[in-house]
């Protein structure tokens, strides 16, 4: 009996230590085993490392391909559980490791280039949906990438922060669905988050996880990676809520007719875990049309 308890303790310990072990919060399709591997792709003189989470699928193409962009002073390890969970659902996941300070507009250009290159490598079926997920300034980077070169079917922004005013003009060009999963604004208000709502208007589906902070949108968070078990600034229950919403949003982008997003949001609101933001058309809330150049100029002035 004592030996059994020892084995159980060891199993729990390894589950805690390994950042790539998916939690039980989001049920997954058990038939999809995942192969993890590290790779490098060249973008000019810059080498971009990435971690590939490849589901073992008989179809060989996956339900979709998801690119993760981490935030400022962060790493792709901070989204390993999210990427692994999506892979277990049958989605090819690629967690990019980008230069993590000051270069977020350039990172947007790099993401656009890498996406074109890697989606052709791993998703040979041209009908495979492509999705961006970006946290904090990584949300700025993927938005900038899509505005400059539209090539994805949807974006998921994890408590995005606005790095530079130039992003606004590119943000206004995005025509695909955008899901903004934010922290509780009473606890943490990301820089420039309001501009995503203003510019995207009705194209944005926005929620806030009650009680969460900025790094709860990572899994594992930087605190957990650095301290092993430290959770002073993040809570596992909030991380699981973000994880559930990411899975629902990805599924909703791939199969919009099935209502995955609406069902998950309703569950979270019922359990009092979520704020739902009803986004009104920008023209009604501010009194002028976004398409007019003066509208963007006025927004840019607000950033100074």
Task: Extract the runs of DSSP E, i.e. beta strands, from the chain.
Answer: 34-43, 46-55, 64-69, 92-97, 129-135, 154-158, 178-182, 204-209, 274-277
Question: How many other CB atoms are there within 10 angstroms of residue 41's CB atom?
Answer: 17
Per-residue DSSP letter, 21: P
Beta pairing partners, 40: 49
Check: CB of residue 133 under 8 Å from CB of residue 156: yes
pLDDT given at position 235: 85
Distance CA 60, CA 93 (A): 14
pLDDT given at position 275: 82
pLDDT given at position 36: 95
Per-residue burial over 79-93, b if 16 or more Cβ lie within 10 Å, else e, is: bbbbbbbbbbbbbbb
Distance CA 112, CA 18 (A): 30
pLDDT given at position 249: 97
Domain range list for the chain: 35-302
Check: CB of residue 290 under 8 Å from CB of residue 201: yes
Low-confidence ranges of the chain (pLDDT < 70): 1-31, 58-62, 124, 202, 227-234, 278-304
pLDDT given at position 304: 43
Architecture of domain 35-302: 3-Layer(aba) Sandwich (3.40)
pLDDT given at position 76: 95
pLDDT given at position 6: 52
Task: Please provide the average confidence, as pLDDT, over all residues in the chain.
Answer: 82
Check: CB of residue 87 under 8 Å from CB of residue 53: yes
- Sorted by sequence, the CB contacts under 8 Å of residue 258 that are 6+ apart come out as 251, 252
């Amino acid at each position: 009996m004592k030996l059994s308890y020892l084995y159980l303790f060891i199993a729990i310990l390894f589950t805690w230590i390994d950042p790539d072990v998916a939690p039980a919060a989001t049920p997954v399709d058990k038939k999809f085993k995942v192969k993890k591997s590290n790779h490098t792709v060249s973008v000019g003189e810059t080498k971009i490392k990435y971690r590939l989470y490849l589901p073992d699928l008989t179809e060989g193409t996956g339900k979709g391909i998801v690119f993760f962009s981490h935030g400022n002073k962060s790493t792709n390890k901070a989204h390993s559980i999210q990427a692994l969970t999506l892979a277990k659902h049958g989605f090819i996941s690629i967690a990019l490791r980008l230069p993590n300070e000051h270069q977020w507009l350039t990172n947007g250009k790099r993401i656009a280039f890498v996406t074109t290159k890697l989606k052709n490598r791993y998703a040979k079926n041209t009908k495979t949906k492509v999705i961006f997920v970006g946290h904090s300034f990584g949300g700025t980077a993927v938005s900038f990438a899509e505005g400059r070169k539209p090539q994805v079917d949807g974006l998921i922004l994890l408590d995005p922060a606005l790095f530079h005013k130039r992003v606004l003009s590119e943000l206004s060009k995005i025509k695909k669905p955008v899901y903004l999963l934010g922290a509780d604004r009473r606890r943490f208000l990301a820089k420039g988050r309001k501009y995503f709502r203003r510019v995207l208007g009705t194209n944005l589906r926005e929620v806030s996880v009650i009680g969460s902070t900025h790094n709860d949108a990572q899994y594992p968070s930087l605190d957990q990676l650095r301290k092993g078990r430290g959770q002073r600034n993040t809570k596992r229950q909030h991380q699981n809520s973000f994880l559930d919403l990411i899975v629902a949003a990805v599924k909703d982008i791939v199969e919009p007719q099935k209502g995955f997003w609406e069902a998950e949001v309703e569950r979270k609101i019922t359990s009092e875990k979520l704020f739902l933001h009803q986004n009104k058309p920008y023209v009604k809330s501010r009194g002028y049309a976004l398409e007019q150049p003066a509208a963007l100029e006025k927004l840019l002035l607000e950033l100074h």
